[in-house]
Structures are given as C-alpha cells and as structure tokens.
Structure 1
Amino acid sequence: MGSADGVAPLRRADPRARKLGADHFAFMRAVVQGLDLRHSWERYLGVEGEATDQRLVRSTIAWIRDEFAAAARREDRPGTARLVRIDVATLTEPAQRLPDLEEFAHEHGFEDQSQAEQVAAYQQRYGRLSQRLQRRGRLIARQLEALRWLEDLVARPPAAGDAVAAWLHPALARRLEAVDLFTLAQLIERINGVGRGWHAGIAAIGQGKARRILDWLRRHEASLGLAVGPHVDLARRQLYTHELAAVVAPATAILPLEKFIVPAALDGRQGLYRRPQAQCLLRADNDHQAILAWLRSKHGLSPEQKARLQAGRRQRDAGVAQDDDWLRCLSSTQRAYRKEAERFLLWAIVHKGKALSSMNHEDCLEFRDFLADPQPRSRWCGERSRERWSPLWRPFEGPLSASAQRQALTILKNLYGFLVDQNYLMGNPWSAVGVPRAGAPSLNAGRSLTVAQWHFVRERLEQRSGTSAQRRLGLAVHLLYATGLRLSEVTAATVDDLSWVEYPPDLDDDEPLEGWVLRVVGKGRKLRQVPVPAEVIGQLSAYLLSRGLDADPEHASNRGAHLLGQASDIAERAPGLRGCSPADPRQGIAASTLYDQIKAFFTDCAAVLQARGDTRGADRLARASTHWLRHSHASHAIAAGMPIEIAQQNLGHASLATTTVYVSTEDKRRMRAVGRFWGGRKA
C-alpha cells in the first residue's frame, strides 16, 4: 500500500536476514581458484558446520552465489550476476596442468628442433585443452574481479546488535533463539556469564558447535566491540577467584554490592538525613561503608568455618589477597541481609537517583511496590543459578511473594534501625511502612517425597555407576534424608563432628544404647546433636575408604576431613583434562555443587517416572531439591511415630510450631474418616 502522497514507503530490512561478510568472500575466492575446499571451509566458514557434511557445503556455496547474484542485479549488473553463478570447476579439471614448452620438448625428444617446430608440435598435442584452460583462467580472473567489486559493495563486519540469525546457520540460530538469545551481544553475555559450559541446556549444540561459535566470535572481536573472556576456556574449578572477579568490571550499574560504584554525589556524605559525622558511632563516611558495618554486626561464620571455607579455595587462590575477602565468607544470615540491602541500594541509586541516606517514607513505599513486580524485568531479573561474578547476575529472579516481601522489609527496617542507633541517620523511614499481608497459608511439608517416591529414589541410587561423584551422591542423599540436615550443614560437616556415644540403662529402658551422633552448628550459631543411623555410617566408612582415608571416621589420620569430599577419580576418568590433579581427600565441596548434583539426579528420576506414565510423580520429582529431603525426613519420621519434640531437636527448629506443619497423621485419619462417611451415604 502506498503512502498518502503516492510515494511507496521504503521497505524495512529484515534484521534476521543473513548478511555477507569478509569470510564469505574469502571462502568463495578460494573456491574459484580451486584451493583445498575442506581447508578453506574450516578456515573461513567453520561456524556453519562440519566440512565433512557435503550437502551443507554445497548448499552454502549455492546460497552465497545466489546472494552475490542478487546484489549484482540490485546494481543493474545482470552480466556480473550471471558471471558469479558460474562454477568454473565444471569447465575443466582444475588439477589438470599443461607442461611448459621446454618440458614438452624434453619429454618428446624435440630439443634439437627449432622453436617453431616445437610450438607446432605443442599446439597439435594440446591445442584445444590449452584454449580451454586459457578461457578458464580468464574466467577466474573475471570472477575474482567481480568478487572484489561485490565485497566493497555489500560485505560488512558483524556488530554486537546484529541478530544471531544474520550470521549463523539458520538451524543453529533457531536453537539459540529458542533460549532467548536473539543478538550476538546476548550470545556473548551468555558465554561470559556461564563459562565453559555455556551451551549446556541448548538443544543440539554440543562441544563441537560451541567451540566453532567461540572461534568465530573471537575472530570478530574488533568489529563486535565485545570479547569472550579467557575464563570460558577453563572449568569452573580451575579458575581463581580474582580471575572470575575480573570478568565484570566495577561500574555504576546493576551489579553486586562489591562491584557497584556509588557516584560521589550519591554516596551519602551529603545525605539529607545524615547526622554529623562527629556524633556518629560508626567510622563509616558514606552509605556503602555503613551497609558493610551493619553486615559485619550480624552473626557470621565461626573461625573454624571460615578456615574450612578458605581451605577449600586454597588451591585456586593461594597468595591472592583482596580487600573484600571477608564478603566471600558470609554466613547464611549475612548473605540474606546483604541481598536486601543490595537491592535497595541499587534501586535508590540507579532508579531513583538518590542516596540511601536521603530516602524518605514515600520512597520506601514505592520500593515496597517495586518488590511485587520489578520492572523492567530484563534489567532487574535473572536466573537463580547465576553467580555474583557473572554478567548474567541480577538482584531478582522475578516478583517477590508476600512472605519474601515481608522478609525484605523486615531486614531493611533492621538496617535503618541500626543506622539510627549508631547516630548515622536521624530517623528510620521504614518504621511506618506496613508489610504485605500473607495470602493463604502454605505448608512446606508439601514439598516432600512420598514414602513410595523415597523408595524409588533409593532404587535409582543403587543403579548408579561407582564413580567417586556417584558414591558421594548416594551418601549425601541418604545422610540428608536420615538426619534432616540443611544443605549448608551437611557440606560443612567433618568427621571431627562425629562421635560415638554410649548410654547406660535407665528407668525408661533397661537396655544400654550406643551409636553415632553428629554435632551440628545451625542457624543463629545454635549447637545441636543429631543421631546418625548405623547404615549411613557404614556408607560413610566405605566412602572414606574410596577417598584414600581410613574407614573409621574417628581415626586420627582422618582428622579435618569433610564427610562429603571432592571427586577423587577425575584424573583417572579424564586423563587429558587440562590442569587436572588429584583432589585433596579431606577437602569438602561447595553447597552449590551438591545442590546441582542432587537436583540433576532428581531430574533424571523424574524422566524415568515420566517414561513409566507417572506424570504426577514425575512433576513432583522434577521440582524436588535438597531441602525436600529435609521435609521428607520430618514428615516420614513423625508419621512413623517419632515424638514431635524429638523431631524439633533434630531439625533445629527454634519453635515447636514450625515442626508441627509436618504432622500429617491426624490429617490422614480425618481424610480416611470422611471417605468412610461418604462411602456409607452412597450405600
């Protein structure tokens, strides 16, 4: 349809339409000159796919020729359009070479004849073929000249904002777009944000295709203006903390607290509600320092826990000290508090353009509404699994639930209350902000496995291969279920926390009792002792033995060894892995590592149930995580007759009311009674 003045509107170019670059012209020049096709493909167009795929190579050459011809026709050059479509290889064999006159004369005994006689004999022998080769040579020269003209006309380098479909094979581009990677900038951010395994979870993109994409992106770093970091070439465990910290440079942007640069004008030195520095009980000069002082005031890790955590990083970070090292050794409470303060600081500076010490009651109300729906999502929200070093990290996963909003506001009230108490601020703007009301109460006990599902999980564990990681998985799952420990508690536990206890007969029981208990430091630095079944201790003994340790947990040579250790057979299973060295048998693992392994195991279990037609069970196991084992322990133990106060002590609950949510026995009786009642009425 034309415009109102009768002039046809310009058609907007399709951003996904494939573009021609210097690589395409370099490859076609090699094709025209008859150079080795496989070598030329791998050098210039390897990102398209394997050189051994002849169908792909032929179709790509045909597409490039069509694009060349279309560009020539747009310039009203029909002759050039026909010229670039000609395959000179069909005219004669490129490998066929004519001897020169001297070689011909020597070969046929014409050395003593005149040059005219030699030329006549030569023309008689090779006349027609010589003419064809000369024509082919002239055609190659014309095609090369046409390619030079076309390259100046249409070739362009890739840019960061270009669509992946504009430069990658359509099938490859569709796979990337299916996971919301639409531009080259998004692709590079994903690669840098995840690291070496960036392609995991993207269908039909394995290590080979991933490597070809990386090579192509690195070859075009100059025009893209974005670089793929060197950390992408190494496994996560091989990277130093300071190397990961260098992936994203500090800036005033949506970045973690330790990377966020607060502009001088908004750092709080001139905050509207600041008290004079001379009256402040903190040495903090600005809001960022005040937040850090508040974090330090919360219950942190014990010296022993810090030593264990630092020992786990010793191999990677030996001798590399950083100013913010203490921020890498926070307790669960400190991490939760940091998260909420970080969110509010980022929102205040980046969104409101105000210092934290200048925020008023109305600002706090606005932030409360923001928590229910952080917008724009692309700026504020990201996947949960992204670590703080990653450019994919975001402060939110999405809208916060009512309970999460209440926790956030409670923590922020605590932050400002601390600053008021320390005479840093004159008042607390959060004190009059109401917290969102809870919706319908929910019972966490629903996030647990049924007894039948637990038996299925045990069966799947028994079918796993005997690698070090699989032995660790089996022990971890049984230990979490048998004790109800939290993820952070089980990964922090060492053999030193285990002890053998013997109880003499008493008035309630004439028999003596003996067994193992595990000393656990839980939330709020509260100490408790949790019994561990003998069967699980037997698994632990076998696991310790497989790590090269003594089977007796209390043996002196085991001192300091974590119950759950690093994989000890990587060097044997992957001898070619760069930087792979035998693991310290006493070394523990990160909580995230165990979480990911158990989550992957539950996903595998869900796939098996789905194949068997148990859709409901598959959905339940697909959602299961390490914390479900804690819930399952509580529900199953209480249902089996464990007194609720004992379950409370094992779980480390501060309130008995928290433990009562797992009491499902009475609910089951009521459901059975209603079923009998309804069945009787129908009769």
Structure 2
Amino acid sequence: MSEVLTLTYGYTAKDLAAVRAYVQRVAPAIIARTYYDVDEDTFAATPSTMERHLRGMLDGLVRVAIEQGSPALAEHLRASVRKHGEPKLTAVTFRMVTEAATLAAAAPHASHSIGRWFRPRVASRLKGEGIATLGALIAFCNRRGGSWWRSIPRIGAGRAAVIVAWLRRHETQLRLRVDADVSDGNYARDPMVAADVVEVRPAGTYQVDAGGVGQSGSAPVRLTLTPLERMAVPHGLSGIDGENRSVAFCYIQARHDLEAARAYLNKYRDQPKTLRAYTKELERFLLWSVVVRGKALSSLVVDDCEAYKDFLKKPDPRFVGERFSRSSPRWRPFASENLSPESQRYATRALRAAFTWLVDVRYLAGNPWKAVNDPKIVQRETAMQIHRALPADLWRRLRDELDKRCGEDGDPKLGMQWRVVRAALLLMGDSGLRREEAADAQRGKLRVSIYGTLERPVWELTVIGKRQKERTVPVSIATLEALKAHWADRGRDFMAPIDLLNPSGPLLSPVTIPRTPASRAKHGAKHDQRINEGEQGYSADGINRLISRMLTIIVETMDDLSLDERVILGSVNAHAMRHTFGTQSVADEVPVDVVQKVLGHASLQTTSIYVQAEKKRVLEEVAGYYARRAESATTGKRDN
C-alpha cells in the first residue's frame, strides 16, 4: 500500500480505508488507533466521536454516489436506505461508491498538513524532523538533496522514492518544484555525482533560476561551486598572465593558480588534518576570487584581501549550505553564515602562509596578505572546553549503564554497537586518547607492560599523537575487557598471539557495514556484512558520530537522570572523554606531570588547566557548604 494518500471527495485514502473497515464492522476504537493520530484528528479521541465521524463520511460518500454514480447504483442505494434506514454496503458496492466519489477529488496544497496526505506512521516520522506541511517537506528535500531521507528514522530509499514521485506529480497544484537531484527512484537522471571537472565562473555570468512552478519574481542566482580537486576556471581568470606573477625562475612547475595551489598543498600530503584544513581555506579563497571578485588569484592586491576579510564575517548565502559529500553538486564551501572570529583569524593566517610559500618558490612576486592585519579576537581564559568533561558520579553511572546495555539480550546488532561504543569511550575516558588516536590505535601496539606484576598486571598502548609524536599510555582492565568483547563480535580472538611480521589490526572496527557504496568500497565488503580479515578501522569522524548517536539514545531512555545531567550528556562528544580523564585524574591526586605525559600535552601549563578546574570545583563545593551551614544556623535561632 502506498505511503502517500489521495483525496476523494475531500477524504483521503486513509479515510476511505477507515470507512471500509467500518462497513466491515470493525470496532471504531480499533479504527481510530489504526488510521488516525489523536493529536491531529480530534474526532478519534473517543469511540463515540470516531463512530459519528465514520457515519458522516459514509453518508457523504453515499450521497455523492447517488448524485454522480450510475442509475443502477443510485437505485440500489435508495432501496437500501428505504429498507434499513441506512445504506447496507457490501465490499463490491462500497468499491462502486468510492469510484463514483472520485469525480470530486481534491487537490493538494503547499499549506496542507503532512497528516492529511501521509499515513500516520510516516507523518509522525516527518513531523519528528519538524516537517509539518507539504511545502515544508519540499523545502526540506531541496535543502538536503538526494539523501534527504537519511536523517529520518525508518524512511528508507523505497518510501522516499514514493513520496518524491508523488510530490513531482503534483508540482503544478503545489506550485513548488522538487529539485532534480532529489531522488524519486529514477536514478538515471539524478546528478548525484558532479562531473569530474567543473568550471566556475564570475557570478554575473549565471542565469537566474526561478526554482519553482508558477512562481513570479526573481530568485537568487544559482552558482556552480566545486571543491579544489575538481575545479577549473576560465582562461582569463586562471592566473596564466596574473599581474603578481614572478618574472624570476619558478621553483615549481605551475602554469596557473590552480596548479600552484595544489603544489602548495602537496607539502602536507602526509599530514591529513593539516591538509584538510588548508585545502578548505584555499578553495574558499579561490572560489571567492573567481566568482565574487572576478579576478585571478595571482592578480589580487591588498584591497582584495581586505575585502575577503569582510566576506568572512558574513559569507554570501550562495556559498553556504548543509554538509554534503565533496562529489555532490550540492557541496558548498561554508557550512555556516557566522564564522567565529577565531575561524576568521585562522583563515587569514593560513592564506598568508600559503602566499608566503608561493613567493618563496618564485611563483608570485609579492605577498599582499603581509599588509593585512589579523581579525581581532577575544583572548580566552582557556582554549580547551573542559567544561564538557563528565562529573565523576555521572561518568560512573554512564559506565554502569553501558555495561547493562551491552549485556542485554535483544537486537544482536544493537548489542554490538553498544559494545564498540563502550570500548571507544573507555579507551578515551580511561587513557585520555584523542579521537584520532583512538581511531588509529592498533592491536599490535597494545601489550602487557614490564612494570606490572602477576597480581596487578599493567597494559600499555603506544599511539601516534599530535605533531607525529609517539607516546605510550596506560590501559585499564575495564577497557581491556571491553575490547575483548568488541573483538569477539568481530569474530576474532583478542588474546591470540600477535603476528610480529604483520601486527596491524585496528582496536576499533565496524562490525556491521552499511549497504552504501561508500561504506562497501572503504571496507571491502561485497556480500557479507561482517568482516574478519583485512579490517578497516573507524575514522575519527565515524567514532564521533557513533558515540553521539548512541549517547542520544541514553539521554532519551536512561532512568534516574536529572535534567541537568541529560543536558550534559547531550552535549558530550568523543573529545569530552579526554577532558573527563584529565579532570578525574587530577581530582584523584594523580601528579600533574603524569597526567601531562598521558595526555601528550607539549606544555605543563596546558595540563594545569585541569588543576584550575578542580580548584574551582573545590571552592564551589565549600561555598555551598558554608551557605548550608549559615542557613542551618539561622533556622536554629528561629526555632529557639
């Protein structure tokens, strides 16, 4: 049965199904639960109001069938009313009545409620994302693109295709258009992946796209924007004849600005995080230079750089969009219209460094960014957001809750997810690892320390941290047991001898691989959803997403959590567990220099922030004690 309803004589398909059930003598209370939403359909609140509504709909359908149907049907209905006082319908006559009623079908409108056209379960899921009307649904689809349905629980590709196909059939009535790359199952026409090379041009060369059916007035110009690796620019803006090009012998083989930018980024090919950050800043500046400023990168002067500084304060809305794959035509260089002052300063410094290098290799004659001041920022007391660290009691209860959920007999796949989340949280919360370090941690680097004893063995893990510095951190027994359970889910023996010639094997790895092309390509899974050999670990972002998703479930379902505790857990990400280790270890009087070594801080001053946080907590607790004692003394005097 279709997930999308149709209106017949003012009644939707669910109304007709409800009346059909009523004709078949199904109880009104059961009909109300099956077809209607009490919050939206007030007539379904009680069996009596439900029955009155059903009888009214049935009378209306019979009335229009008598008026619009065949003479034989009309005479049959009149005779039934004369004999029984009401029409007695069979399955055949009811179908004839509904067919006659289709002569007065209603048309959808953008302002119509989702519940009027979609089945209750589908409507409730859409409303859970804040989608209340058909117009809001189309806007949501157009904003999210081809995978719009992925964020909505239990709306898969099949249901999404039915919904989008129906919206497209009614574009004229809705006076709204669903974008071409929003999937309706006709994947052949969907440009889900942009062309290999995309030329970007100045904004004035694009045509205005009204973006709707029957809409009047102008709309923003739709720009073609693309990441650096697939970017091409017109010859006149390529920088081949840039005004700032050096006349001296150039140390790099770069014919134009794009090749020069790629040569600079190639320096950081072995530093993934740095490469990603610098690529983002350079491609933003290149796109702005061509599309907004209409100048080649190698022709920009100080005034242009100052203009870009102003642009960063509030980027053009056409440059801003939700996060999409870099292969998607919906990709945009900015995810927010409000860049923080710190982000603006970082962009300025990154571009100044890039231009300095281009001057040093004699591609550019001078660096205009040298004459541009950094954006002003407020000097923060501490750059680290250690306030996200979990309090000791909440951290203990979270661990207990994770143990309980990992041991529950229910959905086996969900149990595996809980076990990998527990292992990841303990790895970061007990050993102070960054999420990148946890993602890259290998089994071959985890071993029994020579400093332990038979009664109290100590395990240690060697990781590669920031600035490519190697360090060794202790691993708790609880973490070890969590890792063993996770490895058992992967079908592997955690305690098996390590192959010294091939010791690789990620400590954390997905057990169930989603059936998406990207996931299958990354993990090498063809038909089997579980992987035992040649495993690939989680990415740092993958661990963060998994933790956030599972903690959201805990926030919504865990008992005995106060509102404040739910807020704290709701804001926790993977990195907060590292701060949890820092604050809890200092609170437990672990020497600061030891905490520094475990966390891998370059400076003891950085680690001392956790000491300050602990001092603040001590003062707050004692201040509370003073206040309670003063209140108790006052109460005692009154009693006397």
TM norm structure 2: 0.68
After superposition, give the CA deviation of every residue in 1:604-655 in whole Å (9 maximum; x if it has no partner).
333357x757222222221111111111111111222222222222222222
The residue correspondences of 1:189-228 to structure 2 (distance < 5 A) are 189-190=142-143, 192-194=145-147, 197-200=150-153, 210-217=160-167, 226-228=179-181
Report the Cα distance in structure 1 between the residues aligned to 2:142 and 2:358, rounded to whole angstroms: 38
After superposition, give the CA deviation of every residue in 1:353-379 in whole Å (9 maximum; x if it has no partner).
222112221222222222222233xx2
Q: What residue number does 2:27 align with?
A: none
Q: What residue number does 1:77 align with?
A: none
With over 3 angstroms needed to count, the CA separation of the structure-2 counterparts of 1:225 and 1:567, relative to structure 1, is same
Instruction: Give the secondary-structure state (helix, strand or coil) at the position aligned to 2:447.
Output: strand
Match of 2:231 among 260, 281, 301: 260
Instruction: Give the secondary-structure state (helix, strand or coil) at the position aligned to 2:164.
Output: helix
Contact 1:267–1:288 at 8 Å: present in 2 too?
A: yes
Match of 1:292 among 237, 262, 282: 262
Match of 2:417 among 469, 473, 479: 469
Structure 1: runs of 5 or more not aligned: 1-22, 31-36, 39-51, 67-82, 97-139, 235-242, 302-330, 506-510, 572-576
Report the Cα distance in structure 2 between the residues aligned to 1:246 and 1:554, rounded to whole angstroms: 47
Q: What residue number does 1:99 align with?
A: none
Q: What residue number does 1:75 align with?
A: none
Q: What residue number does 2:46 align with?
A: none
After superposition, give the CA deviation of every residue in 1:434-478 in whole Å (9 maximum; x if it has no partner).
223332514322121111221122122123245222211111111
CA RMSD after TM alignment: 5.3
Report the Cα distance in structure 2 between the residues aligned to 1:550 and 1:451, rounded to whole angstroms: 33
Contact 1:472–1:543 at 8 Å: present in 2 too?
A: yes
After superposition, give the CA deviation of every residue in 1:273-300 in whole Å (9 maximum; x if it has no partner).
1114x72111111111111111111261
AA aligned to 1:281 is: Y
Report the Cα distance in structure 1 between the residues aligned to 2:488 and 2:338, rounded to whole angstroms: 47
**Percent identity among equivalent residues?**
29
Contact 1:196–1:232 at 8 Å: present in 2 too?
A: no
Report the Cα distance in structure 2 between the residues aligned to 1:232 and 1:561, rounded to whole angstroms: 39
Report the Cα distance in structure 2 between the residues aligned to 1:578 and 1:401, rounded to whole angstroms: 43
With over 3 angstroms needed to count, the CA separation of the structure-2 counterparts of 1:613 and 1:448, relative to structure 1, is closer
With over 3 angstroms needed to count, the CA separation of the structure-2 counterparts of 1:199 and 1:94, relative to structure 1, is farther
Q: Does 1:341 align with 2:294?
A: no
Match of 1:400 among 339, 354, 375: 339
Report the Cα distance in structure 2 between the residues aligned to 1:479 and 1:592, rounded to whole angstroms: 16
Contact 1:606–1:618 at 8 Å: present in 2 too?
A: yes
With over 3 angstroms needed to count, the CA separation of the structure-2 counterparts of 1:603 and 1:658, relative to structure 1, is same
Q: Does 1:271 align with 2:271?
A: no
AA aligned to 1:388 is: R
With over 3 angstroms needed to count, the CA separation of the structure-2 counterparts of 1:599 and 1:181, relative to structure 1, is farther
With over 3 angstroms needed to count, the CA separation of the structure-2 counterparts of 1:616 and 1:25, relative to structure 1, is closer
AA aligned to 1:389 is: S
Deviation for aligned residue 1:582:
2.8
After superposition, give the CA deviation of every residue in 1:211-256 in whole Å (9 maximum; x if it has no partner).
531342576899968434679899xxxxxxxx96448983522332
Q: What residue number does 2:579 align with?
A: 631
After superposition, give the CA deviation of every residue in 1:403-461 in whole Å (9 maximum; x if it has no partner).
22222211111111111111111111111222233325143221211112211221221
Q: What residue number does 1:663 align with?
A: 611
Contact 1:273–1:426 at 8 Å: present in 2 too?
A: yes
Q: What residue number does 1:80 align with?
A: none
Instruction: Give the secondary-structure state (helix, strand or coil) at the position aligned to 1:556.
Output: coil
Report the Cα distance in structure 2 between the residues aligned to 1:261 and 1:286, rounded to whole angstroms: 11
AA aligned to 1:469 is: Q
With over 3 angstroms needed to count, the CA separation of the structure-2 counterparts of 1:280 and 1:247, relative to structure 1, is closer
AA aligned to 1:622 is: G
Report the Cα distance in structure 2 between the residues aligned to 1:251 and 1:164, rounded to whole angstroms: 39
Q: Does 1:448 align with 2:379?
A: no
With over 3 angstroms needed to count, the CA separation of the structure-2 counterparts of 1:449 and 1:175, relative to structure 1, is closer
After superposition, give the CA deviation of every residue in 1:575-623 in whole Å (9 maximum; x if it has no partner).
xx995533245332232222111112222333357x7572222222211
Match of 2:481 among 525, 538, 542: 538
Task: Tell me which structure has the larger Cα radius of gyration.
Answer: 1
TM norm structure 1: 0.64
Q: What residue number does 1:567 align with?
A: 511
Q: What residue number does 1:420 align with?
A: 359
AA aligned to 1:548 is: G
Instruction: Give the secondary-structure state (helix, strand or coil) at the position aligned to 1:519.
Output: strand
Contact 2:406–2:416 at 8 Å: present in 1 too?
A: no
Pick which of 478-487 and 453-462 moved more: 453-462
Number of equivalenced pairs: 530
Q: What residue number does 1:389 align with?
A: 327
AA aligned to 1:340 is: E
Deviation for aligned residue 1:91:
5.0
AA aligned to 1:593 is: G
Instruction: Give the secondary-structure state (helix, strand or coil) at the position aligned to 1:334.
Output: helix
Contact 2:390–2:577 at 8 Å: present in 1 too?
A: yes
Q: Does 1:622 align with 2:570?
A: yes
Structure 2: runs of 5 or more not aligned: 1-5, 14-18, 21-33, 42-52, 77-96, 201-223, 408-414, 516-524, 634-640
Instruction: Give the secondary-structure state (helix, strand or coil) at the position aligned to 2:467.
Output: helix
With over 3 angstroms needed to count, the CA separation of the structure-2 counterparts of 1:475 and 1:673, relative to structure 1, is closer
